[in-house]
Structure 1
Amino acid sequence: MATLVSPSSSRRAAAARRPATAHAHARRRWLGWGLAGGGLALVPWTFALAARLPSTAQVSNWSAAWVGLDVVLAAGLLGTGALVLRRDARYGLTAAATGALLVMDAWFDVLTSAPGSERAVAAALAAGVELPLAALCGILAARALSMEKSPV
């Protein structure tokens, strides 16, 4: 028995298969140039910061910043794991964000630790836990992206 397809659902299906319009290409091009311009603007800013910032600083709310970062990391790992278990393709989004945060956490853990045994522990945790987890998150994000077929 044949299935009836409404005209509106046929149009939606055809629109989904249709290549992106010129307007969408122009918007994507402007977005790409804008993001690249933002990245280029950060280059001189980074040099200015490197020249002006002190090598040490007294920081208020230090523990709150680190605890907050670890809470966000826990949420990212839990959320990614839950989405993977549910076979929800959005796991790629949380995996990408969590992987980036894990790299940042490893970077700051090592650079802000005191020389000696504290830095050795931070480096060991970065190399043995945070960076491998970040790599796994990157693989998951890439896998989710390769499964996605729609253009940006």
Structure 2
Amino acid sequence: MASTQLTSVHSLRRVRVHAGSGSGVPRALPKAAAASTFPLLPRRAATVLTVLGLAMIPWLVFLHTGLPATAQASHWAWTWTGLDSFEALGLLSTGLLLRRGDCRACLTSAATSTLLLVDAWFDTMTAAPGSDFKLAVLLAVFVELPLAVACAVLATRTFPRRDR
């Protein structure tokens, strides 16, 4: 009988799930078994985070309809310098952690991927019409987004996994 190993998020205990009738697809854990292998704190956190995510939907509608189309920022240069500094720090720390063979590189790589996506979004959304916007789109399409995808792939491939 074929089996698949699942790892609990909190305790990293292994649970063996047997595939039914040679189908090659593991059947789902019974609800009681799933609850016992998934500790209470992460279950509660999952519920709270899901509710908070859903609660943000009306807030997003309010922001989109209530915010002005333009605004002046007092610290514009510091804002962009800070974001790009965090990206540089993420790339540098990921590279150094990878060079050392440190499994925490998956964390810095995931964070850097997120920063690059945010940078691409805000570059294009805040660019002035015309050549500034065209440059922002070119940088997003050919630099920031491909690098974000590369960092995301790197994060998933370097994520530590237990041997079976």
- Name the TM-score class by shorter chain: 0.7 to 0.9
Please tell me whether residue 76 in structure 1 is matched to residue 76 in structure 2.
Answer: no
The residue correspondences of 1:73-152 to structure 2 (distance < 5 A) are: 73-145=87-159, 147-149=160-162
| Residue 23 of structure 1, CA deviation | 8.9
1:12 maps to what in 2? none
Unaligned runs of 5+ in 1: 1-14
Structure 1 residue matching 2:70: 3-state secondary structure: coil
| Residue 22 of structure 1, CA deviation | 4.4
2:125 maps to a residue whose letter is L
Unaligned runs of 5+ in 2: 1-10, 16-34
Please tell me whether residue 37 in structure 1 is matched to residue 47 in structure 2.
Answer: no
| Residue 18 of structure 1, CA deviation | 6.8
Bigger proportion of residues as helix: 1
TM-score by length of 1: 0.81
TM-score by length of 2: 0.75
Alpha-carbon distance in 1 for matches of 2:12, 2:63 = 47
Structure 2 residue matching 1:59: 3-state secondary structure: coil
RMSD: 2.2
- Moved runs in structure 1, 4+ residues, more than 3 A? 15-19, 21-24
Bigger proportion of residues as strand: 2
Pair 1:112–1:35, CA change in 2 (3 A)? same
Alpha-carbon distance in 2 for matches of 1:16, 1:54 = 48
Please tell me whether residue 48 in structure 1 is matched to residue 71 in structure 2.
Answer: no
| Residue 49 of structure 1, CA deviation | 0.3
Q: How many percent identity over aligned positions?
A: 46
1:61 to 75, 83, 95: 75
Please tell me whether residue 28 in structure 1 is matched to residue 42 in structure 2.
Answer: yes
Larger RCO, structures 1/2 (Cα 8 Å, 6+ apart):
1
